[in-house]
Amino acid sequence: MQSFVAAVIQTNSGPDKSANLSLASRMIGEAAASGAKLVALPEVFAWRGPRSEEAAQAEAVPGPITEAMGALARRLGIYIVAGSILEKTEGEARPFNTTALIGPDGRLLGAYRKIHLFDIDIPGRVTIRESSMRAPGDRPLCVSTDLGRIGLAICYDLRFPELFRALCDDGAEVVVMPSAFTRPTGQAHWETLIRARAIENQCFFLAPNQFGATAHGFDNYGNSLLVDPWGKVLARGADDGAEVLTAYLDGQELARVRRELPCLEHRRLKA
């Protein structure tokens, strides 16, 4: 893995797709100007509105959003993880929740469909039925780049360690997880689980998150994170506020951690 600067972007996206894309493009430009070679946006960065409108807002991948992000990646010469997009496909009424990795030449290098869908009911606080509006993916995705091997996940996936072990087994050195993590669950588990996934899989972990109120009646947690393979927090976002967070990902540090504590080689129980 190379050493490079990475950035995550924290936003509070709403139902105005044009405004969301304009803000994302501006913040990606800020990240690139700070030296970032990999920039990641949060989950549903391009549009987030009423559940009843999701199917109408979905689009193909590749499609207009990935093409716009591709043009920006090509102009800036960087990799972009395009948060997540509501992906329309033939034969499925519900859109997939899909993140896309775009290379510095503007090409779509891979698209991951969120596998684990968030269905919860906390009486008096929040009820979410993601599976009623979105279809689940069925396969992990890890992509080789000239920065290193990048694994992709989305939000609720964080609670399923077997997914991240599968990415690790497929060579992931950096995991990027766009999110719209809720405030109650975020306060309880966000940092703990992210640091655990980084430590147990000895990888860098980038977690751009939404913040603030949503159209669905609950708040997102913010606190976007960049974490190293030792579990050290390299950068952290605020509870509220749109911001660009950057950190230097040291490839030699990754190699040192894996060499000095070779727990990945010591595994005895494997799927």
Contact 51, 219 (CB under 8 A): no
Q: Is 92 a catalytic residue?
A: no
Tell me the one-letter amino acid at 230: W
Instruction: Please confirm, yes or no, whether 114 is among the known catalytic residues.
Output: yes
Return the exposure string of 114-145: e unless at least 16 CB atoms fall within 10 Å of the residue's CB, then b: bbbbbeeeeeeebebebeebbbebeebbbbeb
Catalytic residue among 114, 130, 168, 191: 114
Phi/psi at 9 (5° precision) = -115, 130
| Residue 158 CA from chain centroid, whole number | 10
Catalytic, 43? Answer yes
Centre a 10 Å sphere on the Cβ of residue 269 and count the other Cβ atoms it contains.
4
Catalytic residue among 37, 87, 142, 155: 155
Catalytic residue among 37, 43, 142, 203: 43
Contact 134, 93 (CB under 8 A): no
Catalytic residues: 43, 114, 155
